[in-house]
């Protein structure tokens, strides 16, 4: 019988690679809690209309990339291609928002887009998302970016570039769009890529974000939205930049940055990896403000803003490592010691130490090989001699030092030793 293989673009994650995801998730929970964010969990399956209304019918995601199907009752459902729309839907459905309240949520989980799998971009991928609901102030935009920068540096990532822009509001953006359309009408259509030929009439702002070099050259002379902001949007944007300047967060103004989702307005930003570790997909995080989205999806007129981090892309920047070092391994040297060794391991675990115990008697060499392979800090050797003497050899597998410890002192000795090592 032939074996069943995984679906293309849907990866399996095993240690040590999966440990990177645990590291990213645990760091996110820690850092985001400093800012008052709480974790929520939303379904991976939503009604297709949710994404069409929020992301935009003319976006590449809705046009080309969604996993959409009819269920048994002929309802159109879609595996979520991004998190914000589902979080907004859940917020409207579950939270009775008041005008003076601020809500801060974060989510972690898989997303799905049907695209050509490549380095840093898969059909099932994972994101860490933060969403704020309620605040209109540019202070919230600034805090959101500070949180993202804090998180990425807590992962010890370097060589990052923060790029930022303003997309205006429903009052000033249509005026800019008309200027952009007028500019595009002066351009030889054949000089544009096929996507931009379509976008220039269906979604002209997306032309600015084209990655094709030929289109980039044409757009050098295009009008910029930053020069067409209304006074309210201009002062909002300047306030965000003042926060970044005051906290010494380096940034670059990018007047072509529009992101790929229609719901963004005013502040929008991306963090770019300036190293070559992640191939063509250099953006590892991005977000912005989406005032009006909650109302557009049937909720109250509550402002919103947020960001998303691409975990696959961040993982490419992190060293592949076993972050989850275990405290101990008990090597069993005699059949008579299997039961007391299991009992000792159980006591150590209940004292907050992590580790393993051999399930069967094997050669000492093979058990040490296992302990080294699985990132064990300390190895305890448990045989009949140890059972009779009441002492057990304890070996530091990093330094190779070894000494004997009385059974009754093992817990306190290991805790003291590990505390010293960990700091």
- pLDDT at position 339 is 93
Q: Tell me: pLDDT of 322 over 50.
A: no
3-state secondary structure 39-108: ECCCCCEEEHHHHHHHHCCCCHHHHHHCEEEECCCCCEEEECCCCHHHHHHHHHHHCCCCCCCCEEEEEE
Which among 150, 83, 97 has a CA at the least distance from the CA of 307?
A: 83
- pLDDT at position 153 is 93
Q: Which residue has the higher pLDDT, 320 or 220?
A: 220
Pairing mode of beta strands 76-79, 45-47: antiparallel
Tokens of 141: 């935009």
* 384 within a domain of the structure (yes/no): yes
Q: Which of 317, 342, 363 is the last residue of a domain?
A: 317
User: 33: domain CATH number?
Assistant: 3.30.930.10
145 and 274 together in one domain? yes
Quick one: average pLDDT of 410-417?
A: 85
Q: How far is Cα 67 from Cα 401, in angstroms, rounded to an integer?
A: 56
3-state secondary structure of 36: coil
36 and 164 together in one domain? yes
User: 384: domain CATH number?
Assistant: 3.40.50.800
* 395 within a domain of the structure (yes/no): yes
309 and 343 together in one domain? no
* 102 within a domain of the structure (yes/no): yes
Q: How far is Cα 85 from Cα 131, in angstroms, rounded to an integer?
A: 10
Going from the C-alpha of 368 to that of each of 58, 224, 239, 381, the distances in angstroms are 59, 64, 59, 10
Tokens of 245: 């300047």
> Would you say the pTM of this structure is higher than 0.85?
no
334 and 312 together in one domain? no
Residue 18 has a CB neighbour count (10 Å cut-off) of 13
Domain limits at 371?
326-422
Q: How far is Cα 165 from Cα 313, in angstroms, rounded to an integer?
A: 22
99 and 50 together in one domain? yes
Quick one: average pLDDT of 331-342?
A: 92
85 and 143 together in one domain? yes
Q: Tell me: pLDDT of 58 over 70.
A: no
Q: Tell me: pLDDT of 351 over 80.
A: yes
Q: Which of 258, 293, 317 is the last residue of a domain?
A: 317
Quick one: average pLDDT of 173-187?
A: 81
State phi, psi for 315 to the nearest 5 degrees: -60, -35
Range with the poorest average pLDDT among 91-95, 188-192, 355-359: 188-192
Taking the alpha carbons at both ends of the chain, their separation in whole angstroms is: 54
Q: How far is Cα 85 from Cα 47, in angstroms, rounded to an integer?
A: 11
Going from the C-alpha of 314 to that of each of 95, 162, 292, 317, the distances in angstroms are 32, 15, 30, 5
Count of structural domains within the chain: 2
104 and 133 together in one domain? yes
- pLDDT at position 33 is 95
- pLDDT at position 422 is 40
Residue 271 has a CB neighbour count (10 Å cut-off) of 25
- pLDDT at position 280 is 53
* 105 within a domain of the structure (yes/no): yes
* 224 within a domain of the structure (yes/no): no
């Amino acid at each position: 019988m032939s074996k069943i293989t995984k679906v293309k673009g849907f990866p399996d994650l095993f240690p040590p690679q999966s440990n990177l995801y645990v590291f990213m998730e645990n760091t996110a929970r820690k850092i985001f809690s400093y800012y008052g964010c709480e974790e929520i969990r939303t379904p991976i399956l939503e009604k297709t209309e949710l994404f069409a209304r929020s992301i935009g019918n003319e976006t590449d995601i809705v046009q080309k990339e969604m996993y959409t199907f009819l269920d048994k009752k002929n309802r159109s459902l879609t595996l979520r291609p991004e998190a914000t729309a589902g979080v907004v839907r859940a917020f409207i459905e579950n939270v009775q928002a008041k005008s003076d309240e601020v809500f801060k949520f974060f989510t972690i989980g898989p997303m799905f887009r049907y695209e050509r799998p490549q380095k840093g971009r898969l059909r099932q991928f994972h994101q860490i998302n933060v969403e704020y609901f309620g605040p209109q102030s540019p202070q919230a935009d600034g805090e959101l970016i500070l949180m993202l920068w804090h998180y990425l540096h807590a992962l010890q990532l370097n060589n990052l570039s923060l790029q930022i822009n303003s997309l205006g509001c429903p009052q000033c953006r249509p005026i800019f769009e008309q200027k952009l359309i007028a500019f595009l009408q002066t351009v030889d259509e054949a000089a544009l890529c096929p996507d931009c030929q379509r976008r220039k009439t269906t979604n002209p702002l997306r032309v600015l974000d084209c990655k094709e070099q030929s289109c980039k050259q044409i757009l050098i002379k295009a009008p910029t939205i930053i020069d067409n902001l209304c006074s309210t949007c201009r002062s909002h944007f300047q306030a965000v930049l003042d926060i970044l300047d005051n906290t010494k967060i380096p940034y670059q103004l990018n007047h072509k940055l529009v992101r790929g989702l229609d719901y963004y307005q005013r502040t929008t930003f991306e963090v770019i990896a300036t190293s070559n570790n992640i191939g063509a997909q250099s953006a590892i995080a991005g977000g912005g403000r989406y005032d009006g989205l909650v109302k557009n999806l049937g909720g109250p007129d509550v402002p919103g803003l947020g960001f998303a981090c691409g975990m696959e892309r961040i993982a490419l920047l992190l060293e592949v490592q076993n972050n989850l070092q275990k405290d101990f391994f008990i090597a069993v040297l005699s059949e008579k010691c299997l039961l007391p060794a299991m009992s000792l391991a159980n006591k150590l675990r209940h004292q907050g130490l992590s580790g393993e115990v051999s399930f069967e008697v094997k050669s000492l060499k093979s058990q040490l090989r296992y302990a080294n392979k699985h990132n064990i800090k300390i190895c305890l050797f448990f045989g009949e001699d140890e059972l009779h003497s009441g002492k057990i050899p304890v070996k530091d597998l990093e330094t190779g030092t070894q000494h004997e410890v009385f059974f009754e002192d093992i817990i306190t000795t290991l805790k003291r030793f590990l505390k010293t090592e960990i700091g």
